[in-house]
Amino acid sequence: MKTILVVITLTLHVAAFAQTAAPKDNVLTKEFNTPFGTVPFDKITPDDFMPAMTQAMKDGRAEVQKITDNKAKPSFNNTVISLEQSGKSITRISKVLFNLNSAETNPAIQKNVRDISPLLTEYNNDISLNEKLFARIKSVYNKKDKLKLDKESYMLLDKTYKRFSRNGANLTPDKKDQLRAINKELSDLSIKFSENVLNETNDYSKQITDETQLSGLPVFVKEAAASAAKKAGKEGWLFSLQAPSYGPFMQYADNRGLREELFKAFNSRCAKGNKNDNNAIIEKVVQLRYNKAQLLGYNTWADYILEERMANTTTIVMDFLEDVRQYAEPAADRELKELMSFAKSQGFADDRLQRWDFAYYAEKLKKEKFNINDEILKPYFKLENVLNGLFDVTNRLFGLTFKQNKEIKTWHQDVVAYEVYDASGKLMAIWYGDYFPRPGKRAGAWNNTLRSQWVENGKEYRPHVVNVCNFSKPTETKPSLLTFGEVEILYHEFGHALHDMLAQGKYASISGTSVAWDFVELPSQLMENFVSEKEVLKLFAKHYETGEVIPDDLINKIRESANFMAATATLRQLGLGLIDMSWHSTIPSGKSVAEVEKQADITHKLYPETSGYSVSTAFSHIFAGGYSAGYYSYKWSEVLDADAFDLFKEKGIFNKDVSASFRNNILSKGGSEKPLELYKKFRGREPKPEAMLKRSGLLITP
């Protein structure tokens, strides 16, 4: 299962009502006078954001007013392009603020987010509900077939018009007021949900002083826990709910009671009835989203969201999830029976495995069947080597080179910045890598931009792209060593980064990763496929102590074990998708979180009931991110990426023609054309599901 959190920063055309000018020495009020226009994080303080945003909003309002006051007939240039180019200061400031709130937050930053977000929401409402502005856009849209626009400009016009119509431009004044109130409350609730998850994750730690309780844990896990304890000024070993600590503990710890404790702590986050509880927030969010959909003329929130997706109806999504389920369920049943039999052979005495037993016995069974596990593989995946290998792969595929620049300021000392060039020597992007957990950083992994790519008045602005992950930090005796799954995560997020880095469009709002939500995972998931290829592993998988290149027998074991427990993982993903759709594709039922999940989550029948177990209360993807009525996208995109990678395998994984086609037809195009049309230009046909089913071990072929 891909435990990622992809955060894609949306372009904001925002302004507000404040009138006070920002101080002249506020670095956020103007374009940055720095190398490549990068963010001067060393000069920004939390006190800068509100005055800078106040001024930017005042300027943004004036820009919009200029469009609506224009006496000339509405045209593509004086209306749609002018709107596209407005509010750039607000976008710049927002990207910096929300990047910090995700990757290096503190109470002052969180207060800025709480104070500024309502202003952003209000002005977004002012834009989308501006009657004069919409009248001009509608006038241009109505004559779109006579304008002789290129495909990208036509798409910008189409998306601009739909953005207004889908966000209430056609509503009556009283309903517009209702929509404003809903949007504001949804924004506030999303921020609170995210803060609660961060607090619950940070609040838990497990200190162990008796080394016998660490039985089963590999040396690398114990060393990391000892380092964490030392840093916290405590004795012994310290474990947390951060992925590099929690995941290995659940895989290796022999102490079943401790596994149960950590599992319940992780899977009851924000569901304990304390100040961080998210149950009431979920109920409010679901009801407000439904109310908004109804107000805009849609039956449900899912109907509203899916209208602009590849899978553009609830029926298509549910049929897709059900089709995959038909393949996955019998295979998962076989997997769990095998796992239970193995657990019995290891002395397991209960009738059924509990949820906190699965990863533990699966890891042992994998070791027995394939003689491979993370402890064996991690020495070959030193973070620096993995990154260098990734740079090599992208050079072979797309001709990119990476040059570290220590002069570029970052938001934390662990963050590294690179200049990215193409084969001709053209600067393509600035790229930031942020790879270690810390208290002010959300869990998971994601990609976002500090600046998008666009062209204005003949000048091209290249993107500034951010990748964030949470890997184990180096200890006193070992560098940062990744699991194989973490290598896949790194490649996944870098695939998103490539989508932004290689953008070659005219308009920021449809550049890079600004595509249909169920298309955005194609580049990221495609890149994961390269990790298990022999040609790729030989480039970077070298033992951190001896320098030995990973031997062929280990590569073969990686490939042989690729489908291990794949059906169970597939059911887990389907279950998350179904929980999401249960919240958003029906009329709010008033049922509790536990009741909704029990009905929707198809993994519930695999294990005994666990008191306090909750997915939704920490399901940031759908309640604090952009995946509401869209979590199915991960599985949907697997069909695309498996089908696409089949072409790479057929022609050679570093085939220049195939990689050039993927770059030219997918990566560089952003949202400039409909996703299915872009995919067909690359593949020569529509996607087929067979490659995904076969890769996951769900389709048995002779």
Joined together, the tokens standing for residue 591 give 């049922």
For the domain covering 33-198, report its CATH number: 1.10.1370.40
For the domain covering 270-337+565-702, report its CATH number: 1.10.1370.10
Give the pLDDT confidence score for residue 699 in this predicted structure: 79
32 and 107 Cβ atoms separated by less than 8 Å: no
Helices (DSSP H) in 346-483: which residue ranges? 355-370, 374-377, 383-398
Give the pLDDT confidence score for residue 61 in this predicted structure: 97
Strand 464-468 relative to strand 205-208: parallel, antiparallel, unpaired?
A: unpaired
Give the pLDDT confidence score for residue 476 in this predicted structure: 86
97 and 52 Cβ atoms separated by less than 8 Å: no
Strands (E), 100-236: 205-208
CA end-to-end span of the chain: 27
33-198 against 270-337+565-702: fold identical: yes
522 and 365 Cβ atoms separated by less than 8 Å: no
Give the pLDDT confidence of 140-152 residue by residue, as tens digits: 999 999 999 999 9
Residues marked as catalytic: 493
Q: CA–CA separation, 40 vs 28, rounded Å?
A: 9
Residues of the chain with pLDDT under 50: 1-23, 702
DSSP 573-640: HHHHHHHHHHHHSS------HHHHHHHH-TTGGGS---TT--SGGG-HHHHTSS-TTTTTHHHHHHHH
Q: CA–CA separation, 418 vs 588, rounded Å?
A: 47
434 and 468 Cβ atoms separated by less than 8 Å: yes
Give the pLDDT confidence of 71-96 residue by residue, as tens digits: 999 999 999 999 999 999 999 999 99
* Domain boundaries along the sequence of the chain: 33-198, 204-264, 270-337+565-702
